[in-house]
Structures are given as structure tokens and as C-alpha cells.
Amino acid sequence: MAKKAMELGFYISFAGPVTFKKAIELREVAKFVPDEFLLIETDAPYLSPVPMRGKRNEPSYLKHTAWVLADLRGISVTDLARITTLNAMKLFKIGETKETSEIAYRIRDSLYLNVTNRCTNKCGFCVRFRTSYVKGHNLRLEKEPTALQLIKAIKDPKAYKEVVFCGIGEPMLRLDVIKKVSKWIKESGGQVRINSNGHGNLIHGRNVLPELKGLVDRFSISLDA
């Protein structure tokens, strides 16, 4: 039902029942709804969330629903608030959405770097064909950032679990920038991960892994193309 509703352009909003432990099917739906369709509500004065179940519901109880929904989706409450605020602004046409693109954006306790919107894949599921936003962050670049701009945006790499080259493009297209920024991050005591579709060697016509030795701690390779 949720899939059919989203095909028609409807948002999917979750209230107190998502906090009920026996609401297994509802919780499964809460996991798979894409960020750009997600909303959260109280349904006050009814359906109070756990641990307020049985009491008259009110807006202040929304935090309990938010905590559970964020946990189900593997994100922070701050991430959830940013996503649902953006969606509410779009749906009700209130306020002004952020038009300036971000080159460094936080999700959970990691900092992601948006180095390019170009990509060597054209995957049907990719969010860049549906929206400019990821977890409420506008990633549609007007201009690709320089290494110095990225370093300034990071500030303190140790403030994060890891710094991840990701965005809505293939970061390995900008290998020189990755090497310069990663070198600075490692020298500053940070951890580096790269999200890639695995085309690095193909793009550059050589084995680029030796060039990243000591600069990158982890690679995440997408096999979904």
C-alpha cells in the first residue's frame, strides 16, 4: 500500500504506533520508505507512543516516535529531523528550502564529502535522478569544490568517526583531490573511507590502489549497478 501511495506522489507519515513492539509490519515499512517520502506526526490526541501509551497524546510526545523511527532507519534523530522538516516544508509550501549545495555534510557521526555529481554509472535506483537531497542535505553542486575548500569545510577530522568521500557522484573521478584531502585528514588524525562503484582503475587506466596506500582506511564498493 505504501509503494502504491508513493507511486501516486503521496508522502508516508508515521505516528505513535511505530513505537509498538508488536507493530512488526509497520516497522518494516518504516525502514524502506525513501527519505524524500518520509514524514512524522503525533495523531494527537490519539495513539500515544511508548512509553506514553494510554495517556492523552500531545505534540511533545513526538520525540518518542522520532527516537524509534531514527533507530529503525539507522540514522540519528538530528538526521531524521532534518529530513522530515525539509519534506514538511515542501509538502505544505512553508519556509524556504536550502538552495545552496553542501560539500561537507554530516550523517550520524560521520562527515561525508560531496566532491562531484559526475558518475560512470547510470543506476535506475540512484537518488540523483529523483532529488538533489540526501538525508536532508542539498548535494546538487553548482561547481566542484577544490581540495582547499574541502579541507576548510572539514575543520577537525577527529570530530568524526570517519570522513567519507561520497556525495551523489563517483568520487574516484577526482583522484588528485582525494589524495590531497586524504593526506591532510590522515596527518590530522582522522579516518578516511571512500564510497565507490569500483571503476577507479578503469577511469584512470592504471592500478590506483598503490597511490592511496596510507591515505585511505576503507573502501565501500557498490555492487548494485
CATH of the domain at 82: 3.20.20.140
Asked if residue 51 has pLDDT above 80, the reply is yes
Question: Cell for 173?
Answer: 573521478
Report the distance separating Cα 46 and Cα 28, nearest Å: 22
Asked if residue 97 has pLDDT above 80, the reply is no
179 within a domain of the structure (yes/no): yes
Among 70, 92, 114, the domain-final residue is 92
149 and 214 share a domain?
Answer: yes
97 within a domain of the structure (yes/no): no
Question: Cell for 143?
Answer: 561547481
Q: What is the pLDDT of residue 225?
A: 62
Average pLDDT over residues 14-24: 96
157 and 76 share a domain?
Answer: no
81 within a domain of the structure (yes/no): yes
Asked if residue 42 has pLDDT above 80, the reply is yes
Q: Round the average pLDDT of the chain to a whole number and report it.
A: 95
- Chain-centroid distance of CA 187 in Å reads 27
20 within a domain of the structure (yes/no): yes
Nearest to 80 by CA among 129, 30, 23, 43: 30
DSSP 55: S
Among 39, 70, 92, the domain-final residue is 92
**Total domain count, the chain:** 2
203 within a domain of the structure (yes/no): yes
58 and 160 share a domain?
Answer: no
Asked if residue 224 has pLDDT above 80, the reply is no
Task: Give the pLDDT confidence of 176-206 residue by residue, as tens digits.
Answer: 999 999 999 999 999 999 999 999 999 999 9
What is the distance in angstroms between the CA of the first residue and the CA of the last residue of the chain? 27
Asked if residue 100 has pLDDT above 90, the reply is no
17 and 74 share a domain?
Answer: yes
Helix, coil or strand: residue 112: strand
Task: Give the pLDDT confidence of 61-93 residue by residue, as tens digits.
Answer: 999 999 999 999 999 999 999 999 999 999 999
- With a pLDDT cut of 70, the percent of the chain lying above it is 99
Among 28, 58, 92, the domain-final residue is 92
116 and 206 share a domain?
Answer: yes
119 within a domain of the structure (yes/no): yes
65 and 146 share a domain?
Answer: no
Nearest to 164 by CA among 143, 202, 134: 134
Asked if residue 126 has pLDDT above 90, the reply is no
pLDDT band at 124 (very low <50, low <70, confident <90, very high): confident
Average pLDDT over residues 29-41: 96
119 and 216 share a domain?
Answer: yes
Q: What is the pLDDT of residue 99?
A: 75
DSSP 188: T
Report the distance separating Cα 201 and Cα 115, nearest Å: 18
141 and 68 share a domain?
Answer: no
Helix, strand, coil percentages for the chain (3-state, nearest 5): 40, 15, 45
152 and 80 share a domain?
Answer: no
98 within a domain of the structure (yes/no): no
26 and 85 share a domain?
Answer: yes
147 and 79 share a domain?
Answer: no
78 and 112 share a domain?
Answer: no
Domain encompassing residue 74: 2-92
Widest pairwise Cα distance in the chain: 65
Q: What is the pLDDT of residue 130?
A: 85
Asked if residue 160 has pLDDT above 70, the reply is yes
Q: What is the pLDDT of residue 150?
A: 98
99 within a domain of the structure (yes/no): no
